Structure 1
């Protein structure tokens, strides 16, 4: 029983700490990051996400700092009314994730 409790505790600490390292970047910080060329402009990143699904519209987006890496997450709705989750490296514009939303 002690082993099972220890495993649950370790799992809770691991997953709980992962959530603590992803935080939304505030608008004033975004301006600084773009100005310093630390990340691409949000317009460039949105265009890269939409390029994966031409004709799609952006329904939501956010910039997060995950473990010191800036990730731009974009929710899209394509012309067939299918929703997509696209994540890009905000520094390089590389598409990290492009999945159909369930």
Structure 2
């Protein structure tokens, strides 16, 4: 019984640690970070995402803090109607991930 209790406790602690690593930032916080120069402008970040898929249209964006880094997530649809998820380092504008949404 003690082993099962310890296992359940360890599992729940792991879940809390994983879920605490990514934090969604609201519009006020995002604007504060942009105005302070901590992250790139949203126009530059959107342009970097669209450069990967010319003619695309952005449908949704989100700013998160993950492991102490600001990650800008963009959901877009390219000119052929294919949906893509692009993640950028919001501080540098570097594209971190670019994969087709499944």
The normalised TM-score by structure 1 is: 0.86
2:62: which partner in 1? Answer: 62
Deviation readout 1:37-59 (Å, 9 max, x if unpaired): 10001111011001000011001
C-alpha distance in 2 between matches for 1:52 and 1:4: 49
List gaps (5 residues or longer) in structure 1: none
CA distance in 2, matches of 1:56, 1:4: 51
2:76 pairs with 1:47: no
Alpha carbons of structure 1 residues 86 and 4: separation in structure 2 relative to 1, 3 Å? farther
Shift of 1:14: 2.1
Give the Å deviation of 1:83: 0.5
Deviation at 1:26, TM superposition (A): 1.5
User: Could you say which residue in structure 2 is the equivalent of 1:29?
Assistant: 29
Aligned residue for 1:97?
97
Query: Structure 1 54/16 Cα, relative in aligned 2: closer, same or farther at 3 Å?
Result: same
User: Residue 40 of structure 2 aligns to a residue in which SS?
Assistant: coil
CA gap 1:12/1:100 in 2 versus in 1, 3 angstroms: farther
Measured in 2, the distance between the counterparts of 1:3 and 1:51 equals 53
The CA deviation at 1:72 is: 0.2
Deviation of 1:5 (Å): 6.6
3-state SS in 2 of match to 1:76: strand
How many angstroms apart in 1 are the aligned matches of 2:21 and 2:92? 21
Could you state the TM-score of these two structures normalised by the residue count of structure 2?
0.86
